[in-house]
Amino acid sequence: MIKSLLLFHEPQVKKPFILTEDSGNVNSGNTNTGEDSAKTGENKEPSRRKKNENLLLKKVEKIKLTDRRERNQKDQKSDISRQLSENLKTIEERFSASLNGDLIIRQFDITVKDSTIAAFLVFFDGLVNTKVIDDDILQPLMLLSNLDIKGDRDDILKYIRSHILPHNQLKEVRTHQELIDEVYFGGCGLYIDGLDAAFAADVKDLPGRSVERPNNELVIRGPQEGFTENLRANTGLIRKRLMDQNLIAENIIIGNRSKTPCSIMYIKDIANETLVNEVKRRLKNIDVDYIMDTGELEQFIEDNPTLPAPQILATERPDRVCTMLAEGRVAIIMHGSPFALVVPITSNDIMYSAEDQFLRFPYSNLLRFIRILAILMSLLLPGIYLAITNYHHEMIPTDLLLAIMSAREKVPFPSVVEVFLMEISFELIREAGIRIPGPIGPTLGIIGALILGQAAVEANIVSPILIIVVAVTGLGSFAIPNFSAGFAFRILRFAFIMLAALSGFLGITVGLILIGLWMVSAKSFGVPYFAPIAPRTSGGFTDAIFKSPAWKQEKRPDYINAKQQKMQPRISRKWALANENNQAGGDNTGDQNG
Amino acid sequence: MKTTKPAVITRVIKMDRGKRLIAIIMLVAICPLLASCYDAREVDDLGFVIAMGLDRGKTNTLRMTLQIAKPMAGADGGGSGDDLPYEQFSVEAPAVFSGLNMINTFASKQISLTHLKVVVFSSELAREGLKPYLNAMLRGKEFRPNMPIVVARHTAEEYLQSVDPKLVTNAAKYYELVFQSYKYTGLIPKVEFHDFYLASKSPCRNPVAILGDAGKFLSAEEFDIKNSTYMDHHRSMPFEGDFFAGDIPALGGARAGNVGLAVFEGDKMVGELDGTNTTMYLLCTGDYIHSYWTFPDPLAEGRYVLMDVKQSRKPKHRVEFVDGKPRIDIMLNLEGDLVAVQSDIDYETGDNSLVLESAAEDYIKDHVQKFLDKTINEFQSDICGFGAYARAHFMTWAEWEAYNWHTKYKDATFNLTVNFKVRRPGLILRSGTSEAMESRRDDQ
């Protein structure tokens, strides 16, 4: 047992996934269905090495699939029987009907012509809309079925489906397991005596909140809707914005026991196929019992678990997901999580805010500049302060030096201790601020401002200049738009404080080089993490760091290797041309000319 | 787990992991041991010297005077009462760094030179040669290469003592600003230590230093102008630049003052130039920026025209060899803004402006010529660095060194061109007599 624990390694892919342009283009004509993705992936790569790798992958996949199938077969004792009583027994057993208080099994009779057929419904109270069941399922079966029936009544199954049940989402199932899965996701199962099939009607009315403003990614200009915990509401929010016929929302189920429904969204003729396949491959090969949130899912599918910076974007804004889908990225939405995941991202995506897209370009460039400054400050400011005051006194203006000197004169600790004291208390305030119950929140501000800001200085525990440094650092860390990236910089900040305390700017430089190497070698779903800058691709500086006006963003990011590189023609503001076609009174052919 | 073999492997792997962990812990632990904040010093543990004075000592080679900034002065502001913003220490020592050691025996804080703003040499020391001290300052990594060099006409100690900064509460700031005044007075040269050192070694030029001294007047009754150079400039009364440092009849502010420059040959001081000549020096080197000039009024005897003279373009230099002797062409491009016309003559328009321009050109040319002649006749020292332009005529460095510019400079002749334009008349756009103004008012 110890041995297996120690020696256990995840099956390692020999060659990491790298997103390339060619493989995407070869297959661009084909339409792609979810199941044969692995097969097409294999066909695409003629090279032996790739083939071997794919074989290996397939093998792993096969093992897992058979594994899962076996488990399923164990659960699945038998198919649906023609005997209703047998079915009822199975269902009662499978749902532990005697223990489950919220399980409803409703038995009734259907009168067809002169005979009565026994039937029963099964559903969970609380997951379904009972009115829909009453009106659209029970009522037609019990009352309307004995109306005059025309035509052939041999195939009751087909007949009920096409004539009697007016419900819009009715699925015919052959196994108990299929039905059970549906019932757990807010469905209603209908068994009819004498049939070896059953119906699963989608009558779900899952409890949950309605669409609200996003809580964390606030913008002033732009849509004010956020994702909720409901999968279909979330995909709906995206479909509502992207009315593109090529927008695909593929279903996938993650978690052997939790059976959490997820949706992979992409635009079929824009997103690179290898990327889509890679996302599907990773999602399908997660072998876990329960998965609750995309925060967990992110950890299962990211490339570098130890890299401090996030490699997958989690956002609660549908408009942001839409923008990124339109660029050729892939989004993963999970039932029960108000955050969608978007892959791949690069380092500069974490300093964008959703608002950048909606603001005029000079404004968003100002914001981006400030954010870069904020990142640098939150990462380096305490370190630089320590380095300067401990090692490089010649670097500061004499006046400031004398000011720091007089401020520090009465402080009993070395400046490293001072910095750590303040940084740790700042982190304390921050953590306490999140955990504190709402009504006592304002007290925290008073404690923080009084104790740390004033009393500490007056008691000569810390110098006032340091308070400024820590405060500005804190502001900087709040200005980072990405929540996870904020964590990354907070952790690294302590590393830089240590390095600066040990060897001044030399330490900071070494730290920057090491972190730079780490980041540059990282990948997010096959895309180098520093992509538009290192490796440098076209438009690296103009579009990645600073933003050009909306009508000038002609290409999709190069590193995503979308199937269509162009987003808009070189001249997108057609009205600016002296051309008769684009006159307002015309038949609007101007739009099609693009 | 059928055989015992896997157990062995497990053990090996376990040890490997343990070892790796220990190695990582040790590496992390060693890092601070290796570096161990080796040269970390808290700012409040250091005493920052802001000015250093070097004199010939009574008992030893050097008498070193240090001004160490007090930390309170910077932060509290206000400059309460008579408290000086610095502490002054003096010590007699054989050399700069031994002097620092000696001061550290009684100063509570470790002395740091990283914020040294100025080094003052006494003229006695400067005339003997600064080589031994320059070397120490260049090698010592704490000296800033851009600090100004001052030669005090009497002793450096006295000069530093007389710095009692009234306008700024912070002595460091005083030193930072006071040596920048060449930008708007033109009365002191622009001197930076690294440049000074290079020039002292250069075969093309000789260095200069700022001339400073403690003011010799303590009350207005003592004022006199007997040390002024106005007679040399053929004037009836001294203009602003016709003084050496310390001789200006002035009171208030810091008693220490800086006017003029000290001429060096190599590392030895050979003479002094007054403020007016320093302006000419700045014009010739191109370091001149702007200052107020007093020109004699060309149309009204005894009146003056004051102009703010700027350098419109850098001067053009050219060195030719005529009969083996260097001929140096200098073209100065200047422009002036009228700031005061005492005679109220209309110099803004018409021919009068041309008259003023040519008078100014002659005046400047005359002064520059006299300054250049002085460098040749009195000092034989090329402080303006014309050698750099002569160098172009030599194919190799060896040839140039063999030519020995410093000995040939005394034979040089000058060909001066001054272009002077009056650009802006100030806020009075058109001077008029009072009658003309009256009649105009009547017309309305």
CB contact under 8 A, B43 and A6: no
At A97 the pLDDT is: 84
User: A133 lies in a domain?
Assistant: yes
The per-residue pLDDT for range B402-428, each reduced to its tens digit, is 999 999 999 999 999 999 999 988 888
Under 8 Å between Cβ of A551 and A568: yes
**Statement to judge: residues A71 and A89 lie in one domain:** no
User: A209 lies in a domain?
Assistant: no
How far apart are the C-alpha atoms of A528 and A485, rounded to whole Å? 17
**Statement to judge: residues A367 and A486 lie in one domain:** yes
**Statement to judge: residues A351 and A370 lie in one domain:** no
- Number of structural domains found in chain A: 4
Under 8 Å between Cβ of A258 and A289: yes
A114: containing domain:
84-202
Instruction: Report the SS3 class of residue B221.
Output: helix
Closest CA to A39 of A273, A303, A301, A247: A273
Which one of A41, A75, A109 terminates a domain? Answer: A75
Q: Minimal Cα–Cα distance from A457 to chain B, Å?
A: 15
Q: Minimal Cα–Cα distance from B43 to chain A, Å?
A: 6
Taking contacts as CB-CB distances below 8 angstroms, the residues of chain B near A408 are 42-44
Under 8 Å between Cβ of A331 and A340: yes
User: A589 lies in a domain?
Assistant: no
Under 8 Å between Cβ of A307 and A487: no
Which of A402, A409, A457 to probe by mutation at the B interface, max B CB count within 10 Å? A402
- Phi then psi for B383, rounded to 5 degrees? -75, -20
At A42 the pLDDT is: 42
Residue linked to tokens 């020999």: A14
CA of B235: how far to CAs of A327, B170, B228, B239, B358, in Å? 81, 39, 11, 8, 20
Taking contacts as CB-CB distances below 8 angstroms, the residues of chain A near B42 are 389-390, 408, 414-415
Under 8 Å between Cβ of A515 and A508: no
pLDDT band at residue B27, thresholds of 50, 70 and 90?
A: confident
Closest CA to B150 of B265, B280, B264: B264
Q: Indicate the burial class of B79 (C-beta count within 10 angstroms; 0-12, 13-18, 19 or more).
A: middle
pLDDT band at residue B157, thresholds of 50, 70 and 90?
A: very high
The answer to whether A580 faces chain B, any CB pair under 8 Å, is no
The per-residue pLDDT for range B261-292, each reduced to its tens digit, is 999 999 999 999 999 999 999 999 999 999 99
How far apart are the C-alpha atoms of A287 and A256, rounded to whole Å? 7
The answer to whether A502 faces chain B, any CB pair under 8 Å, is yes
Under 8 Å between Cβ of B367 and B189: no
Which of B1, B42, B147 to probe by mutation at the A interface, max A CB count within 10 Å? B42
Closest CA to B147 of B60, B52, B219, B78: B52
Task: Set out the domains of chain B in order of their start, with CATH numbers.
Answer: 41-286 (no CATH), 289-444 (3.30.300.210)
**Statement to judge: residues A368 and A341 lie in one domain:** no
At B140 the pLDDT is: 86
**Statement to judge: residues A384 and A480 lie in one domain:** yes
CB contact under 8 A, A394 and B74: no
Which one of A320, A336, A357 terminates a domain? Answer: A357
How far apart are the C-alpha atoms of B397 and B264, rounded to whole Å? 24
Under 8 Å between Cβ of A54 and A45: yes
Instruction: Report the SS3 class of residue A328.
Output: coil
User: A207 lies in a domain?
Assistant: no
What are B208's strand-pairing partners? B263
Under 8 Å between Cβ of A42 and A49: no
Q: Indicate the burial class of A75 (C-beta count within 10 angstroms; 0-12, 13-18, 19 or more).
A: exposed
At B306 the pLDDT is: 93
Q: What is the pLDDT along chain A (594 residues), one digit of tens a residue?
A: 455 545 545 555 556 778 776 544 444 444 444 444 444 444 444 455 555 556 666 666 666 666 555 555 544 445 788 888 888 888 888 888 888 888 889 898 887 766 788 889 999 988 888 888 888 888 888 887 666 555 555 567 777 777 777 878 888 888 888 888 888 888 899 988 888 888 888 888 888 888 999 988 888 888 999 999 989 899 999 999 999 899 999 999 999 988 899 999 999 999 999 999 999 999 999 999 999 899 999 999 998 888 889 999 999 999 999 999 999 999 999 999 999 999 999 888 888 888 888 899 899 899 999 999 999 999 999 999 999 999 999 899 888 888 888 888 888 899 999 999 989 988 888 888 888 887 877 777 777 777 777 888 888 888 888 889 998 999 999 888 888 898 999 999 999 999 899 888 988 998 999 899 989 989 899 899 988 888 877 765 666 778 888 888 888 888 888 888 888 888 888 888 876 665 655 444 444 443
Which chain B residue is nearest to residue A2, measuring alpha carbons? B10
pLDDT band at residue B387, thresholds of 50, 70 and 90?
A: very high
How far apart are the C-alpha atoms of A92 and B373, rounded to whole Å? 119
How far apart are the C-alpha atoms of A294 and B206, rounded to whole Å? 74
What share of chain B in percent tops pLDDT 90? 57
Given A399, A414, A501, which is nearest B173 (Cβ)?
Answer: A399
Q: Minimal Cα–Cα distance from A381 to chain B, Å?
A: 17
At B284 the pLDDT is: 94
Closest CA to B394 of B384, B381, B380, B405: B405
The tokens describing B415, both together, are: 């060909």
**Statement to judge: residues A391 and A287 lie in one domain:** no
Under 8 Å between Cβ of A451 and A421: no
How far apart are the C-alpha atoms of A486 and B138, rounded to whole Å? 46
Q: Minimal Cα–Cα distance from B17 to chain A, Å?
A: 10
Q: Residue A490 carries which side chain, given as an amino acid letter?
A: R
| Top mean-pLDDT range of A400-409, B21-30, B286-295, B339-348 | B286-295
At A62 the pLDDT is: 62
What share of chain B in percent tops pLDDT 70? 87
At A539 the pLDDT is: 65
User: A222 lies in a domain?
Assistant: no
What are B308's strand-pairing partners? B292, B337
Closest CA to A348 of A537, A524, A530: A530
What are A252's strand-pairing partners? A262
Which of A2, A5, A398, A497 to probe by mutation at the B interface, max B CB count within 10 Å? A398
Which chain B residue is nearest to residue A416, measuring alpha carbons? B42
The stretch B244-259 carries a mean pLDDT of: 86
The tokens describing B325, both together, are: 């002797």
Residues of chain B whose beta carbon is less than 8 angstroms from a beta carbon of chain A are: 1, 6-7, 9-10, 13-14, 31-32, 35-44, 46, 48, 50, 69, 71-76, 112, 114-115, 117, 142, 144, 170, 172-173, 176
Under 8 Å between Cβ of A554 and A570: yes
pLDDT above 70 (res B116): yes
At A402 the pLDDT is: 87
**Statement to judge: residues A179 and A159 lie in one domain:** yes
**Statement to judge: residues A288 and A408 lie in one domain:** no
Under 8 Å between Cβ of A586 and A574: no
Taking contacts as CB-CB distances below 8 angstroms, the residues of chain B near A406 are 71-72, 74-76
The stretch B6-18 carries a mean pLDDT of: 54
The stretch B239-246 carries a mean pLDDT of: 89
User: A563 lies in a domain?
Assistant: no
Closest CA to A281 of A120, A61, A118, A548: A61
Exposure letters B294-306 (e unless 16+ CB within 10 A, then b): ebbbbeeeeebbb
Taking contacts as CB-CB distances below 8 angstroms, the residues of chain A near B115 are 393-394, 398, 401
User: A552 lies in a domain?
Assistant: no
**Statement to judge: residues A98 and A159 lie in one domain:** yes
Sequence-separated (6 or more) residues with CB below 8 Å from residue A412? A460, A461
CB contact under 8 A, B173 and A403: no
**Statement to judge: residues A292 and A151 lie in one domain:** no
Given A7, A406, A414, which is nearest B42 (Cβ)?
Answer: A414
The tokens describing A31, both together, are: 């339409």
The Cα angle at residue A328 between residues A322 and A329, in degrees rounded to 5: 70
User: A350 lies in a domain?
Assistant: yes
Q: How many CB atoms lie within 10 A of CB A573?
A: 12
Which one of A28, A47, A75 terminates a domain? Answer: A75
pLDDT above 60 (res B79): no
The answer to whether A77 faces chain B, any CB pair under 8 Å, is no
The answer to whether A503 faces chain B, any CB pair under 8 Å, is yes
CA of B328: how far to CAs of B250, B372, B384, B412, in Å? 39, 10, 11, 7
Under 8 Å between Cβ of A497 and A419: yes
For this complex, say whether ipTM is above 0.90.
Answer: no
Q: Can you give the C-alpha Rg of chain A in angstroms?
A: 30
First to last CA, chain A: 66
The Cα angle at residue A243 between residues A240 and A246, in degrees rounded to 5: 130
**Statement to judge: residues A494 and A394 lie in one domain:** yes
How far apart are the C-alpha atoms of B311 and B364, rounded to whole Å? 13
Higher pLDDT, B433 or A376: A376
Q: Residue B183 carries which side chain, given as an amino acid letter?
A: K
Which chain A residue is nearest to residue B114, measuring alpha carbons? A394
How far apart are the C-alpha atoms of B300 and B279, rounded to whole Å? 25
**Statement to judge: residues A26 and A102 lie in one domain:** no
